[in-house]
Structure 1
Amino acid sequence: MGPPHIPAMPMDERVTDAAHGGTPPAQSATTFSRLRAALRGTGSMAAVLGVAVLLVLGAGEWATRDELDTQWDNLRRSGEVQALALRGVATRYSYLPFTAAQQPLVAALLRDPDSRSVRDAANTYLQTVNAHAGSDTLYVMDANGLTLASSNWNTPSSFVDQNYSNRPYFRDALQGLAGRFYGVGKTTGEPGLFASAPVYDDGKVIGVVAVKVQMQPIVDTWAQLRDPVFLADERGILFLGSVAPWLYKTTRPLSAQDVLQVQHDEQYGARWAPQPVPWQVRQRDDQPGVELKLPSSGKNYLAFEEPLPDLGWTLTLTADSKVVAQARQQAWVLATLASGLLVLGALYWQLRERRLQENRQARIELEQRVLERTHALQQAQAFRQSMEDSLLVGMRARDLEGRIVYVNAAMCDMVGYSADELIGCLPPYPYWHPDDLDRHWNDSDTALAGKAAPQGNENRLRHRNGSDVYTMFYTAQLIDGDGKHIGWMSSVVDITAQKRAEEQQQQREAQLQRVQRVITVGEMASTLAHELNQPLAALVNYAAAARSLAAQGKTELLNDSLTALSAQALRAADIVGRIRRWVRQHPEAREPCDLNAAVDQSLDLLLRAEARRHGVVVRLDLAQASLQVHADRVLLEQVVLNLGLNALQAMQAMQTAAKALHTATHPQELLLRTTTDAGQASLQVLDRGPGLPPEIAERLFEPFFTTRSDGLGLGLNICRSIVESMGGELLARNREGGGAIFEIRLPQAPTP
């Protein structure tokens, strides 16, 4: 069954009269008016075609801009995630050199490097610490850069007796700074991130402790991405990335001084020489990034830079720009379909107007008009057939029984069968997918019953060559010229490329989730190590007391110490479980608890004993009524205990400084106060210490920031995270008259 016939205006209006040998005057006037109407119709069609062309071009431009915005947004979000992961890896082991530098054994080795027993002990210590920390290599250098001890002392690539005095991280640590440096190892030839810290003896730097960390896990993650990702140092040299041939090449010209400095430091190997990256940069003024053009492969990439100023690096993420071209082409296809429908509508309107004009013509012209109209109809039919064959959207017509009566060329190309093979077929059709037969039967029966969804149905077809084709079917009634329902017409759109793009997007999201899980595990480990410190210290004290009481034969006191020791062990296990649930964000860890009771429990645990040891008076100003809050009781007690110990240490440090300067200080007092206001329960820890200078107050809650030489800088950061997980906030400010105030605010729970 072919497409329905469409009547058209005759192409020529040559009417002759054999009797008169010419054209009658009335017929000449009629012919002139019809010719003028035809010219007006031609102008209207030109306008419609012009609008159709503008629609196609505008759709392509809009799709291009929309896809560019989407790609830049994806790159920006990926850059934030990757930057977070890089910072986590770069700072994960920064504490290790500082911690090892505090070990007396390291200072003893630097003071007496010729002692074999000290050196062996230092090697064993570094090997043990390195194995537990999971870093690559931990080693100690003297003031001349010579390695005295290393965690890999017993391996063929040992750092012992190697000199690294030309490395920047050694020079920075020798100046009393924390060093960080990425480069190729002089001994192993393997690249890595180096972090260093100075070793002091009587206020003088006598050596350097350094750690080497492999960043290969980051590269392995990048290698799974479809498009290149790379990292450049402050000089613009690529030193980490998913494309190995690009490593250690320069993104911009280097000065002679920079080249000499890199070669002197042997940062990228002893034979490194500057070579430019193999791409050309095209700046986009209206875009947040640039375009990289690779002449060797012919590929173009959108490149987005994420600066990491705290590390001195620049992260660049790319996306293949061909997806933009694909979006533009898809928009052109859809716009062409819409334009085709517009042209068909305009043709129908024009032909209808012409038919009305023809009905008004005199009966004398009827025979001639029929002949000429037949000729025009043939031309219109040929035009419409050509237009349908040029469409990229498949068309399929079926009769009321489901027999295929018409398919266009696009439909045949979509399924790999010719029109002769498809016309006349009843369900099941040869292109139905064998794994989806039940769904195909259901969709076919629904469509033939006139219940097809107006938004279309998605179907998976099987191409003749065996490949899968994903399509959208849109079905409407097929009406003949008499207005009778004779079947169903379906338009079929190939969405295979769109499905592939959705699968790739799901893969990228899964990769981002894996990176986020790695970051979460690191935070959990830091939190657990810090929170277990206090119950473990109490365990040690109770164990020492029990040993002493056992030696003295004081059985009753011994039983009390053992009972307290067991309670602290259970408390440590409780902390582990609750921190694990907190990190996983399990809300069931919260329960109604009394804020005043949490203060009393913290005093009984350790705070009151520590206050007596420091000579500090503890004063309580608690609310008369019970202050009920929804919180994790054990974690809340840990926060109160941590804040109280910090206050005692601050006052002790101030008292020591005052004695050295022979100056007077405020009376040593620790005040714990609970209040309630507007549905908020508040606990304030007030001390008479040195207070919070502005430069310290700004960084107070940053991880690994501390003013104590023996601190890790995790306590306040963990305390704030715990309070915020309970729906509250932790604030800090200076106290009037000297000292500091740390305040916990939590939503007040209804009193049971």
Structure 2
Amino acid sequence: MLALSGLLVWGAGEWAAQSELDNQWDNLRRSSEVQTLALRGVATRYSFLPFTAAQQPLVTALLKAPDSERDRAAANVYLETVNAHAGSDVLYVMDTSGRTVASSNWQSPRSFVHQNYSNRPYFSDALAGLAGRFYGVGKTTGEPGLFASAPVRDGDRVIGVVAVKIDMQPIVATWAQLRDPVFVTDALGIVFLGSVSPWLYKTTRPLAAADVQRVRNEEQYGSDWSPVAVPWTLRQQRDEPGMELALPAGGSRYLALNEALPDLGWTLTLTADSRAVALARQQAWALASLASGLLVLAALYWRLRERHLQENQRARIELEQRVQERTHALQQAQAFRQSMEDALLVGMRARDLQGRIVYVNAAMCEMVGYRADELVGQLPPYPYWHPDDLPRHWQDSEMALAGQAAPQGFESRLRHRDGRDVHTMVYTARLIDGDNRNIGWMSSVVDITAQKRAEEQQQQREAQLQRVQRVITVGEMASTLAHELNQPLAALVNYAAAARALAAQGRTDLLADSLTALSDQALRAADIVGRIRRWVRQQPQSREPCDLNVVVDQSLALLLRAEARRHGIPVQLDLAAGPLCVNADRVLLEQVVLNLGLNALQAMQGAQAAHGSAEPESPPPELLLRTRAEAGHALLEVLDRGPGLPPEIAARLFEPFFTTRAEGLGLGLNICRSIVESMGGELQASNREGGGAVFVIRLPEAPEK
């Protein structure tokens, strides 16, 4: 008995240890798949940026004329904007000698501009016409990152290189939260990324002298790097998928699994503490010892049981009687359950693990028009699946059988036997037997055909109502169109007159600029017409992320600055330091800024004409455009030093066709408010302290992409 107990205890310990070891390897494999996807995602997330920037004419122009300060400034601003929207670390351009001529961090104290990176492989690869990728410590910042590059071509000739630096530290921060070490080695076996910082830039195997010299020449891991071995050893495990990683001097031991990433030239290594295997063996020994003791107690109990056999016989007879009573009660409960199922209006369908129908209730049969004996035993595709939705039926069925059905249910269109469509909501749950095993899936099918029809009718009524409302506003849109086209048409006339005068003077250098501006205004007028037509036809607005500061600059460039100069009124800007990103129709928003600015200029011009020269104590006329962020909103304020807003005018300021000017239509401010509100914002007006008026555009601030 003792020998048998000892053999049981030893066997249980070995079985538990092997089982835990297999479980650890399985966990490592699953974790490896997840971490590999995450690592590839971070490494390739911004690989498109160099190719995109290489196509930009600003970059090509700078590389053709690298000493042009204007081209350099334009390229710096472009790279800074693209880098900010993309969220990468640094985006920069190098000429064929490796010297950086423009960079997104051109304003930073550690700017890449004028730095030379000709010794980096990603530069030489791109210069050869290939896409480059290289991980290393930055020569300028000293901070590590992944560098991706692309060539800039002028025809068949490579004239420069665009590169992006990607910060890999976010994924390292994720690894640092794991219990066991995770690290990545390059093709030479050097640890360059991992959750244990003392291991970084150490070698896992001896390096050839040529490889050491190449790493030093490329300054991949810093200018003073030298090969130092990692403080652990790896040993292949017999009949196991991975290796054992052992720290020196009786340190921890880990199971280590390598995952090669050939497309990146890296190897990802994940580890798991092997102490769990020893702990499982010890726990199994304890449980087996307890089981052996229970076997001894069971033998003693058997002898005691024999003594009480007669008493147990009487108890068994009583138990059989109770079983008969319980069986009768169960039969009654089954009959009651069947009656309830037949009375249900909700369809019930049970399937086994292979998808075979094993049960349907009367409501389900009535819903699809098939008898229970025609459905039970059927495998997918079922006869009531709608022929137009077969791919979706297959997808929903496979997800349900895999235990991934949406807990909130999903819609499914079925085809009744008589050919009509039946819209349903399907809710699926596990079918559990008495041994708590999953033996299939039970689905509740609710007929929502009447509800769907009611929703469709309601949608049709709402669509018709919206169409009627838009048709009603066509008259207002005609006035809107006339009002909005006034400014670009006036600009067209001015530019045409200027072009005629320049042509007469033979000044062809300025003539081309005037013709270009004239064409831009014509395109702007066409864009305004197109947007109003799309609005009337119920087409969605073209809303996109845009910087409110850029909108102000564009509006000044279009007309405001020229009009202010013509009226002799200075224009002041007080713009927010950083970008103010909003989701808006850029052209319509520029039109709003133009309208408000022109109104302010006309108000100040009218006040000067009415009162003659300004009084000594009155503030001089000026137009101030100010942007700022406030409580999740982006604000644009248009301030003037005009006559202000009397109470009787302020109350009717945004009414259609209300105007204080003889030549005005009274639609400008009404249209401005409608445009701002269609973008989810609001337009307000008030008197300015010290004289004048303030118009405030408030729009929800959008996150930067």
Between structure 1 and structure 2, the one with the greater Rg is: 1
Structure number with higher relative contact order (C-alpha < 8 Å, ≥ 6 residues apart): 1
- TM bucket (normalised to shorter chain) is 0.3 to 0.5
**TM-score of the superposition, structure 1-length normalised?**
0.42
